[in-house]
Amino acid sequence: MKDTDWNDYSLETQAIRAGHKRTHEDEHSIPIFATSSYVFNSAEEAALRFTGQKPGNIYSRFTNPTVNAFQERLAFMEKGERCLAFASGMAAIMAVGMGLLKTGDHVVCSRGVFGNTVLMFQNYFGKFGVETDFVDLIDSAAWEAAIKPNTRFLFLETPSNPLIEIADIAELADIAHRHGCLLVVDNCFCTPVLQKPFELGADIVIHSATKYIDGQGRCVGGAVIASEDIIEKSIYPYLRTGGATMSPFNAWVFLSGLETLAIRMKAHCDSAFELAKWLEQQPGIAKVHYPGLPSHAQHELAKRQQSHFGGIVSFELDGGKEQAWKLIDSTQMLSITANLGDVKTTITHPATTTHGRLTPEVRAAAGIKDGLVRISVGLENLDDIKNDLSRGLI
């Protein structure tokens, strides 16, 4: 391929063309390199590659050309220096902790992060003497107050799940840096199409590629994007040893997912915005959570920080759990699943599924009411989605 500097191109173009190093077979589409290891021309070359004196592939737990293509493409799209792919979003989060933390370190984490992320910090890093304090995503003063001399990083997701609250990334990056900490942002809900955390001062971006990057609910995968220095010193050595590598097949699926990400995200956002406005007009709904609505507490921040408002909408029914379950069970087309970011619209009841393990008190403190329903708006015709929901609305 011609020597192109993809930095000169826009995200939509990078998503389609960056990362492919065409082989001598002149292929147009990126191939799946289904190989676990690589051969060397001589014993000396093998030795040089193992010591890192000569670049090149050694073993697919470390590097693989199809996975490399995915990593390079996503790094360009996020405007980050380097990306490493992982077997899942959780494996990516695990790698950040394993790479950066040691016994005696401290983490400040948003209370509104993915449930397994809470468990990862609390139960697993906690077991090895890393302490984590959880704070309200949108309370910047609480973030700053929770920082200790041994705090290594702040970890957040914005927008949050399932209440779609928005954190001010620039403000939290500033707080983190003033205290000598890093800011880690899980950018799964927005993807680089809607939000670029590095431009706002974040140090590390995490992805669950399982969601919008795949976009069609086929593969599980994740990624960490950071500076060359962080990746080279802290994340890559752990990936190489820890082994939660992305498979070449999954990387190939995610590469084609990236190619359509921008147009899919626009369509998800347009439908979600329309659906949120429609839901606000429906009977029996106490509140709709969507950052595109002027009624959303961080509407102005969302307008500033994101290029669109996202594909996830949640809302509270007056009739509590009974009404929420009735609505969910009345649908004929929507998929009852906690997954999100799919072309298929999904509907879930957070209080009894994703957040069901929390005690009622903790759930109430987190603002997750029994009547709350979350929808990941897919790409079906919007009228069909509305009609399906109408069946269960009083």
User: Under the rule (CB under 6 A), what is the footprint of ligand PLP?
Assistant: 88-90, 114, 117, 157, 186, 188, 208, 210-211, 220, 222
What's the closest the beta carbon of residue 320 comes to ligand PLP, in angstroms? Answer: 26
What's the closest the beta carbon of residue 173 comes to ligand PLP, in angstroms? Answer: 19
184 versus 334: smaller Cβ distance to ligand PLP: 184
89 versus 392: smaller Cβ distance to ligand PLP: 89
Tell me the C-alpha distance between 286 and 197, whole Å. Answer: 32
Report helix, strand and coil shares of the chain as percent, to nearest 5.
40, 15, 45
119 versus 141: smaller Cβ distance to ligand PLP: 119
- Check: CB of residue 277 under 8 Å from CB of residue 293: yes
What's the closest the beta carbon of residue 155 comes to ligand PLP, in angstroms? Answer: 11
105 versus 186: smaller Cβ distance to ligand PLP: 186
Among all residues, whose Cβ is closest to ligand PLP? 89
What's the closest the beta carbon of residue 238 comes to ligand PLP, in angstroms? Answer: 16
Structure tokens at 205: 């971006």
What's the closest the beta carbon of residue 254 comes to ligand PLP, in angstroms? Answer: 11
What's the closest the beta carbon of residue 302 comes to ligand PLP, in angstroms? Answer: 17
**CA dihedral for 104, 140, 78, 354, sign (positive or negative):** positive
Residue with tokens 């737990």: 61
Tell me the C-alpha distance between 80 and 24, whole Å. Answer: 29
151 versus 250: smaller Cβ distance to ligand PLP: 250
**Distance separating the N- and C-terminal Cα atoms of the chain:** 59
19 versus 341: smaller Cβ distance to ligand PLP: 341
100 versus 209: smaller Cβ distance to ligand PLP: 209
What's the closest the beta carbon of residue 368 comes to ligand PLP, in angstroms? Answer: 16
Distances (CA, A) of 336 to 209, 261, 331, 332, 344: 21, 24, 9, 10, 10
What's the closest the beta carbon of residue 341 comes to ligand PLP, in angstroms? Answer: 8
Tell me the C-alpha distance between 59 and 316, whole Å. Answer: 50
Please list, residue by residue across 337-365, b when 16 or more beta carbons sit within 10 angstroms of its beta carbon and e when fewer do.
ebebbbeebbbbbbbeebbeebeeeebee
222 versus 378: smaller Cβ distance to ligand PLP: 222
Nearest to 198 by CA among 305, 290, 68: 305
Nearest to 341 by CA among 210, 253, 225: 210
Tell me the C-alpha distance between 70 and 87, whole Å. Answer: 13
Q: In what order do the strands lie in the sheet with 312-317?
A: 285-289, 312-317, 372-376, 346-348, 335-336
